[in-house]
């Protein structure tokens, strides 16, 4: 069962890194525009998730189990905070520019 957890955690780490690169790419698409900052913030969120998952991977393998568990929780906490902040920036821009409204 530990092998399956290691494979899944490794896949999640890889996908988190890919998501971060994609969000950074989108921020470059919006370079100089109002959506650049929110996407730069959102590009950080998967990195914090990746850090948390890396800590979980270390925990599964038995390396520094108790300390790593704390770092895992901290990484996930930062992930949620950064994700919330990025989406709130997108929301405020969306509402201030009245995007999505058909008049």
Q: Is residue 31 part of a domain?
A: yes
**Residue given tokens 């996908």 in the structure block:** 15
Q: How many domains does the chain divide into? A: 1
- Residue pLDDT, tens place only, 18-68: 888 888 888 788 888 888 888 888 888 888 888 888 887 777 777 666 777
DSSP state of 32: T
pLDDT at residue 64, as a whole number: 66
Question: Could you tell me if residue 24 is inside a domain?
Answer: yes
In a domain? residue 102: no
Which residue range forms the structural domain that includes residue 9? 2-96
Q: Does the residue 101 lie in any domain?
A: no
- 103 lies in some domain: no
């Amino acid at each position: 069962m530990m092998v399956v957890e290691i494979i899944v955690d490794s896949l999640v780490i890889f996908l988190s890194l890919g998501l971060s690169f994609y969000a950074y790419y989108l921020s470059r698409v919006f370079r100089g525009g109002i959506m650049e900052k929110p996407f730069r913030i959102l590009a950080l969120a998967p990195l914090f998730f990746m850090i948390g998952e890396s800590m979980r991977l270390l925990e599964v393998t038995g390396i520094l189990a108790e300390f790593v568990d704390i770092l895992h929780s901290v990484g996930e906490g930062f992930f949620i905070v950064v994700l919330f902040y990025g989406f709130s920036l997108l929301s405020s821009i969306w509402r201030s520019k009245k995007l999505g409204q058909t008049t």
